[in-house]
Amino acid sequence: MLIVGITYDLKEDHLARGSRPEEVAEFDRKETVASLERALRLCGFEPRKIGDAFHLASRLVKGERWDMVFNIAEGLRGRCRESQVPCLLELYGIPYTFSDPLVCALTLDKAMAKRLVQVAGLSTPNFYIVRNSKDLEGIPLNHPLFAKPCFEGTSKGIDERSYIENMDQLRHTSQRLLREYKQPVLIEVFLPGREFTTGIVGTGDSARVLGTMEVQLVSQENNCIYSYDAKSRYESMVQYYPLESSPLLSEVENLALQSYRLLECRDAGRIDIRLDSRGTANFMEANPLPGLNPRDSDLPILAKMQGISYESLISMIMESAMERTGILP
């Protein structure tokens, strides 16, 4: 029986260390780790909880090893934080699920990911990076615009003020985000169309679409912005619908799969897509470490819409990782 370690960051641990609720938005709850542990056991593996990068480093130094590590750790500090656990595991030669350090760092930096997508000829809204107040002069983009921190997930830093209609709003929002998040601000041309997220499993040529769902806000105010507040209160503010078979579905899923393969994501992930004013699908961002809470996270939600159980989803991820690394079950 394969021994599978589980690496993760717990909200409770970081809150106890003094972090603010928004700072731990990407981290997991105990129920997520328990659900993953149970699913791995039902799939025929022997799960062993490890913890965050600090716990992993300590246990590696003490000589502990695992046949495979199921990694959902988001890391702490900096735009390369999602690479911390993969780097440690590669140093010690231990195979793990999901993407490697390069892909984890690249996709967390939204601008870098968009540059690759743009160079490859795939659709993504034009953008500009603001690193300081001087960068606010002469931005070569037409309003309306959209502003968000460059290295965050879970819609952190996004609210109704992210929608920009004039230079005063751009200056005020950019300076606030620079001050609060201490990182560059990504300014994009605002896309007014529908929003989707596509789940993908597998690696390279073996990657395949799991399903696509549309994200709709209950309230149509504030330009339908999928904000941090909306995500944190999704049960009352957001509705999810499976995107039915249509030319639009094909367009969205083709773009998602091309982006996933281009960015070299592995095992599973999500690609966020939004339509522009002409109804054309555009790449927004990639999520190579998708949330795996069986009740709250987008990937398990859309898998359930396709009739795929949580345990089957975890089994698919493990199968991809084992095939990729040459490990026999």
Q: What is the pLDDT, as a whole number, of residue 230?
A: 55
Which band of pLDDT confidence, cut at 50, 70 and 90, is reported for residue 3? very high
pLDDT at 298 over 90: yes
Question: What percent of the chain lies above the pLDDT cut of 70?
Answer: 94
Note the pLDDT tens digit of each residue in 181-227.
999 999 999 999 999 999 999 999 999 999 999 999 876 555 556 65
pLDDT at 284 over 90: yes
Per-domain boundaries in the chain: 3-97, 126-189, 192-325
Task: Select from 131, 181, 127 the least CA-distant residue to 155.
Answer: 181
Q: Are 116 and 286 in contact (CB under 8 A)?
A: no
Q: What is the pLDDT, as a whole number, of residue 115?
A: 97
Task: Select from 191, 193, 216, 212 the least CA-distant residue to 257.
Answer: 212
Note the pLDDT tens digit of each residue in 229-248.
555 566 677 899 999 899 99
| Average pLDDT of the chain, as a whole number | 93
Q: Which CATH class is domain 3-97?
A: alpha beta
Q: What is the pLDDT, as a whole number, of residue 221?
A: 57
Q: What is the pLDDT, as a whole number, of residue 16?
A: 82
Q: What is the pLDDT, as a whole number, of residue 305?
A: 96
Q: What is the pLDDT, as a whole number, of residue 220?
A: 58
Q: Rounded mean pLDDT of 91-97?
A: 98
The residues that bridge with 200 in the sheet, in sequence order, are: 209, 269
CB atoms within 10 A of CB 65: 12
Please give the Cα distance from 192 to 206 (Å, whole number): 33
Q: According to the CATH classification, is domain 126-189 in 3.30.450? A: no
What is the second-level CATH architecture of the domain 192-325?
2-Layer Sandwich (3.30)
**Ramachandran quadrant class, 18 (left: phi over 0; alpha: psi -120 to 50; beta: rest):** left
Sign of CA dihedral 231, 234, 236, 238: positive
